[in-house]
Structure 1
């Protein structure tokens, strides 16, 4: 694969099947982060149904969520040398921001799909963190 060393959470005793599962989980998490970032970026630019701009706090939260998800997606898909503790911290930050954004969006009409994308991303980040913490 051209990797120098193993990805975080993968040891020399990790089976090929476990490695594939780890990388598949990493890809699913990166994909969820990308989808959440896209949904939040779109939502932040939308005009509310009544013709007004979205509430500034929700708009800022959506932009923050998009930025954090984008950074997490990049960390998952590009930086294979990131140590396990740093990757776990990035995933936890993403999970927390996504949940906060989902809660903020719950109070705004028409934002349920974006809130759902945020919750999905948080759930998948949590699931991937358990993969990192699992026995190897």
Structure 2
């Protein structure tokens, strides 16, 4: 591997890390907003949407913090965090799909899951 290739890989890694953190932030905002719009005394389905929104926002927020900090997480720990975020985002998108008016939140979840998947690919 040449220094140029190594530098290009580092730039891609940092760009993907930033894109993933940004997607996590956007997803956390959308999910928190969705959770706040749902009537907590509503139906069981509304309660599920509210809980998923809160959980997804918290997981995305935690993932964004991990990606934004210059911590010394090993690759395995980072991969676990990203996999967790991706899974929660996909589950939340599925729940939001069944709830009219939650399309934007579902799309933010899918975009975040995609960003996590793309960033995981740089960790090979």
TM (normalized to structure 2)? 0.89
User: Is the Cα–Cα contact under 8 Å of residues 28 and 56 in structure 2 kept in the other structure?
Assistant: yes
Using structure 1 for the length normalisation, give the TM-score.
0.81
CA–CA distance in structure 2, aligned partners of residues 47 and 59 of structure 1:
6
- 4+ long deviations beyond 4 Å: none
Alignment of 1:93-104 (within 5 A): 93-104=84-95
Flag structure 1 segments of 5+ consecutive residues without an equivalent. 1-11
Paired position in structure 2 for 1:82: 73
Distance 1:77 1:121 in 2: 15
Please state how far the C-alpha of 1:17 moved relative to its aligned partner.
Answer: 1.8
What residue in structure 1 maps to residue 83 of structure 2? 92
- In structure 2, the residue matched to 1:71 is 62
Contact 2:86/2:114 (CA < 8 Å) preserved in 1?
Answer: yes
Specify the alignment match of 1:108 in structure 2: 99
Q: Tell me the residue number matched to 1:28.
A: 19
Work out the number of aligned pairs and report it: 119
Distance, in Å, in 1 between the alignment partners of 2:94 and 2:6 is 40
Counterparts of 2:97 and 2:70, CA distance in 1: 33
What is the DSSP-based 3-state SS (H/G/I as helix, E as strand, rest coil) of the residue aligned with 2:122? helix
TM-align CA RMSD: 1.9
- Secondary structure of 2:123's partner? helix
